[in-house]
Homo-oligomer: A and B are copies of this chain.
Amino acid sequence: MLFRYGRRVELRHLRYFATVGEVLNFTKAAQKLRVAQPALSRQIRDLEEELGVQLLERGVRATKLSEAGAVFLVEARAVLERADKAVKAVRDVALGERVEIHVGYAPSLTIELLPCALHSFHNIAPSVHVKLHDLSSEEMLRGMGEGKFSLCLVARPEKESMRGLKFELLQEYPICVGVPSDHRLAQAKSVKLAQITAEPLVAYSRTEYPEYHAMLKELFASTGSELRIAEEHDSAPSLIAAARIGRGFIIGPACLGMLAGARLKFRPLTPAPPPVQVGALFDPARLSDGVAKFLAAVRSSAGK
Question: Judging by beta carbons under 8 Å apart, are B90 and A147 in contact?
Answer: no
A179 proximal to B (CB < 8 A): no
A224 proximal to B (CB < 8 A): no
Surface stretch bound by B, among A6-14, A156-164, A203-211, A293-301:
A6-14
Please, which residues of chain B bring their CB within 8 A of the CB of A93?
53, 67-68, 71-72
Within the oligomer, what is the number of copies of this chain? 2
Within 8 A of B (CB), among A120-153: 146-148
**In the complex, A75→B238 CA distance in Å?**
32
Residue of B nearest to A181 (CB): B262
**15 A/B residue pairs, CB under 8 Å, sorted by A:** A9-B83, A10-B10, A10-B12, A14-B83, A52-B94, A53-B90, A53-B93, A68-B90, A72-B93, A74-B146, A75-B86, A75-B90, A78-B148, A79-B79, A260-B261
Interface SS of chain A: helix, strand, loop or mixed?
helix
Please, which residues of chain B bring their CB within 8 A of the CB of A52?
91, 94
The size bracket of the interface on A is 35 or more
A87 proximal to B (CB < 8 A): yes
**In the complex, A76→B91 CA distance in Å?**
13
Question: Judging by beta carbons under 8 Å apart, are B86 and A78 in contact?
Answer: yes
Nearest 4 A/B pairs, CB to CB: A261-B261, A75-B86, A262-B262, A53-B94
Please, which residues of chain B bring their CB within 8 A of the CB of A28?
none
